[in-house]
Structure 1
Amino acid sequence: MCYGTHFTTPGNIASAASIIREAIDAGETFRAHSFESACARNEIDHRLTRPRHPWTNGQVERMNRTIKDATVKRYHYDSHAQLRAHLADFVSAYNFARRLKTLRGLTPYEAICKAWSAEPSRFRANPLHQMPGPNI
């Protein structure tokens, strides 16, 4: 889910991804916001929320601060590759090990697997195949 007017045409109250997909399938010429066009081309359901609501305000900023605190504020990196490797390790640990209150104590990976077992038609690939470990 994306927040901010830079992710959609100003004034939109709903995503145009389905209309764009229809135009692409029909071979028609169309004009669209680049983000919505990318969502349509990749079959991503772009959902919009109303701006300036407590459940959306600051979520991205809080996550960016968490990442910054865990990486560049705490460690010195000799190269950009070192930072990238540490960032990839942080994201993996967060997605597969961090239990979140907003997900009722599940990790993001567990929440995705739970959603997949409830509605597998919403997914392109089985998330159980994305688990890191000896199978990779």
Structure 2
Amino acid sequence: MNCHRHSKGSYGQVLHGSAKTTHAIRAELQRSKASVAQLAERFGINEKTVLKWRKGRLVEDMPMGPKARRSTVLMPVEEAAIIVLRVQARLPLDDVYIALKDVIPHLNRSSLNR
């Protein structure tokens, strides 16, 4: 049984769901003089995973998901522009989105319906 395939690694370390290696294995990948192919075979992981951990200095995972949060909150003036186009011009959602997407860069179609 490969302990590095479970959500808990050595010393009670909790890994994210798609983690294939523990901190101990990552440190071994960085220290080892063995070939990439040998290490991949030994730990039952892809060669790309070996290369990933070999080039890094840390054994911690980077946060998953987007690097920066995008705000979906509209300013009152932006909401007013949307309402004018929706109500007074009687434009459908898709047309409002097309008309305003260059003026309001963070606008997405779902924020029009709120």
TM-score by length of 1: 0.26
Return the index of the structure with the highest Cα Rg.
2
